[in-house]
């Protein structure tokens, strides 16, 4: 690191801790807030209201990256000029992928059933993108995990859907909830499958001196 780089880092560190809203989490997800709290950081939450529809022929990696970035940029547009310079905005997005098909949040119980039938007895991917926006600089990391489900009966699926847990969840399941009983193997990041990959999140926060360790 050069002397100039050190000076810029020190200024950045000073600015961040001088700001009342040094870190904003752009998410309505209580799971992401709980995960971020595990890192021992103080932050505030703002909800980004964006269109989460995939574009025509958009690939899963491009989609999840765009979603995280648009959430961060959406919050940035609400900030005044001073806050825009001194605030770090953290955003994330998670999607479930089967055979290159994006399984987003089910729109109703019937779609949740359809998603779970596709996941039954097979391996799928979970892509979680985390984005940090600070002073106009956008940095994004993507974590990919592989999850394998046991074969599910129609009764198991219908009872799980009836619990209400699949709604609002990518792929129609929550690994930290009742669906943990369906998972026979996880290769990757548990926090990433939950919605906020903590190793990648910490790496981004270290880059702006917001991680104490």
Which residues have a catalytic role annotated? Answer: 93
Tokens of 87: 């605030």
With tokens 């000076």, the residue in question is: 7
What backbone torsions phi and psi does residue 100 show, to the nearest 5 degrees? Answer: 65, 15
What are the helix (H) ranges across the chain? 3-18, 30-37, 60-76, 81-86, 109-119, 154-162, 190-194, 198-206
What backbone torsions phi and psi does residue 105 show, to the nearest 5 degrees? Answer: -80, 130
What is the rounded CA–CA span in Å between residue 172 and residue 43? 28
CA dihedral 188, 189, 193, 196 (to 10 degrees): -150
């Amino acid at each position: 690191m050069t002397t100039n780089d050190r000076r810029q880092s020190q200024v950045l560190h000073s600015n961040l801790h001088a700001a009342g809203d040094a870190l904003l989490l752009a998410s309505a997800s209580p799971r992401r807030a709980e995960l971020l709290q595990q890192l021992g950081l103080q932050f505030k939450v703002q909800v980004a209201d964006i269109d989460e529809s995939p574009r025509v022929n958009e690939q899963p990696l491009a989609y999840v990256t765009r979603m995280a970035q648009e959430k961060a940029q959406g919050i940035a547009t609400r900030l005044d000029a001073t806050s825009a310079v001194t605030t770090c905005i953290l955003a994330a997005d998670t999607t479930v992928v089967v055979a290159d098909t994006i399984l987003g949040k089910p729109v109703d119980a019937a779609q949740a059933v359809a998603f779970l039938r596709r996941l039954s007895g097979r391996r799928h991917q979970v892509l979680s993108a985390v984005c940090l926006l600070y002073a106009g600089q956008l940095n994004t990391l993507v974590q990919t995990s592989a999850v394998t489900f046991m074969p599910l009966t129609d009764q198991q699926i219908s009872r799980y859907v009836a619990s209400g847990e699949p709604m609002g969840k990518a792929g129609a399941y929550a690994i930290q909830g009742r669906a943990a009983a369906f998972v026979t193997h996880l290769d990757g990041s548990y926090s990433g499958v939950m919605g906020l990959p903590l190793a990648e999140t910490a790496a981004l926060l270290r880059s702006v001196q917001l991680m104490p360790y």
